[in-house]
Structure 1
Amino acid sequence: MADGMCLELVVVRHGLTQWNLDKRYQGQRDIELLLPDALPDMDRLRNELAGESFDAVVTSDLGRCRQTLAHIAEGRDWPEARQDQRLRENDFGDFEGRSWEELKDSEIYRDWIDSAGELAPPGGESAEQLRQRLQAALADIFATAKAEDHRKVLVVTHGGVIRELRRVYDGVPFWEGVVGQAAGRRWIFNEQNVDGPIINGQTSHGKRGEWQCSSSSEVPVPASRTA
């Protein structure tokens, strides 16, 4: 087995919205950022990424992600972003616009929580449906990286997307993989030139056994670790 290229994937969540503040499920509703309240978190992320360059930038097409990207990319010589609907938040169906307080007495809602999203909310999508579209989106990112020799890619997306990626690559239970506003993870992937599948370790959602996650870290780095 010989190692191939290395890809750094920086995946971050959008900034604060009013619905985040109200603890309402946003899902695929096109909710804008809450300004100026969203700025401190986004400024911290912008500062964290100062001096970094990216070979490609991909974002959810929803406005809160595009707004976040516009803020952190201002004045930076980054590539023009590609929008991808497959990077949208989970479709929460009838739960969208409602809070835990409003839903907590619903048996359907409690069953959904207990299933870690494996059950689909009424009118929404299941965790498996979320996984399928994320697998397709990531497969395209990895294929493009290989074809165009990308070494670092920025992705701006949603909390549920990052929770699912943390479940796959970090082994963190879905509900425990929460990241804050304008925060996320930095994953390092190594291409593995193998004839058969990789048995140990997590692989990307491209060709089975082609990419292996070798490192995961927080973005931005917690202040306690930079002091």
Structure 2
Amino acid sequence: MVDDLDVELVVVRHGITAWNLARRYQGQRDIPLLLPDAEEGLLLLRKALAGERFDAIYTSDLQRCRQTLEWIQAARPDTPLNLEPRLRELDFGEYEGKVYDELKDLPHYRAWIDSAGELQIPGGESAAELRSRLDAWLFDMAASVQRHGYRKVLAVTHGGVIRELRRRFETIGFWEGGVHQAQGRRWWLTHHGMNDKGGWLCRCSSAVPEPANERL
């Protein structure tokens, strides 16, 4: 693959769901957006992205992400749209549908918390498995950037995915990488062949939507 591919990658989290409000682990359960509660955040995100033109869009195939994409109106008729299962949330296995108080006294849950999400979740994924599928997606995205000349890409995904991408590109800790619903990150990336970041290096990043004080 050719080196020195530059792309602006905008990655946003889906809007609020009923399980978000109840603080339940959603994982890969196909939970829809909670409307009208989600509308405020979605409309702010739509405004933040208004006028931007994306060369390609990727979205998790779960409906809360597909609904978010519809709400923010970022797709144009000629924009390639890819439903991407590799952008699904971490598989929370036995934790899905449960809240902290139901799990806090379980030894395997305490061990998972203490490992900063690295351990295998019973019946679910480990952080390494999530990173592996994100590596595969980033590799394929690099091939598409090279083949089609993409310069700006949008991805609609989940909080755990964005947390892992922030660990990769911003070199921050697991607990610092969270983003709220209908928010995300913008990364300016360069592909430098195969390296310890899976080929992609981040030149700079910012919040989406930008905080008001960053627009002054």
TM range (shorter): over 0.9
In the TM superposition, 1:1-227 aligns within 5 A as 4-73=4-73, 76=76, 79-192=79-192, 203=197, 205=198, 208=199, 211-226=200-215
**Whole-Å separation in 2 of the counterparts to 1:122 and 1:149:** 42
User: What is the distance in 2 between the residues matched to 1:157 and 1:64?
Assistant: 9
Distance 1:80 1:152 in 2: 12
Q: Are the equivalent residues in 1 in contact too, given 2:53–2:74 (CA < 8 A)?
A: no
Q: Partner letter of residue 205 of structure 2?
A: S
Letter aligned with residue 93 of structure 2: G
**In the TM superposition, what whole-angstrom CA distance separates every residue of 1:68-123 from its partner, at most 9, and x where no partner exists?**
00111168556142101010000000000001121111111100111112111110
User: 1:5 Cα deviation (Å)?
Assistant: 3.6
Q: Tell me how far 1:65 sits from its aligned partner.
A: 0.2
**Amino acid aligned to 2:206:** S
User: Which letter does structure 1 place at the counterpart of 2:214?
Assistant: R
Q: Return the alpha-carbon distance in structure 2 between the equivalents of residues 217 and 75 of structure 1.
A: 22
**TM-score normalized with structure 2 length:** 0.93
Contact 1:58/1:155 (8 A) holds in 2: yes
Distance 1:216 1:16 in 2: 24
- Note closer, same or farther for the CA distance 1:75–1:65 as it changes in structure 2 (3 Å cut): closer
After TM superposition, the structure 1 stretch with the greater mean CA deviation from structure 2, 65-74 or 54-63, is 65-74
Quick check: 1:184–1:220 contact (8 Å CA) kept in 2? yes
Which residue identity does 1:37 align to in structure 2?
D
Question: Unaligned regions of 5+ residues in structure 1, if any?
Answer: none
Instruction: Quote the offset at 1:224 in angstroms.
Output: 3.0
* Distance (Å, rounded) in 1 between the aligned partners of 2:69 and 2:27: 19
Tell me the CA shift for residue 132 of structure 1: 0.4
2: distance between equivalents of 1:10 and 1:75?
13
Task: Point out where structure 2 has 5 or more consecutive residues left out of the alignment.
Answer: none
Q: Tell me the amino acid that sits aligned with residue 215 of structure 1.
A: C
CA contact (8 A) 1:58 1:84 kept: yes
Moved runs in structure 1, 4+ residues, more than 2 A?
74-78, 223-227
Question: What is the CA–CA distance in structure 2 between the aligned matches of 1:80 and 1:63, rounded to whole Å?
Answer: 18
With the length of structure 1 as denominator, give the TM-score of the two structures: 0.89
The alignment-based identity, stated in percent, is 56
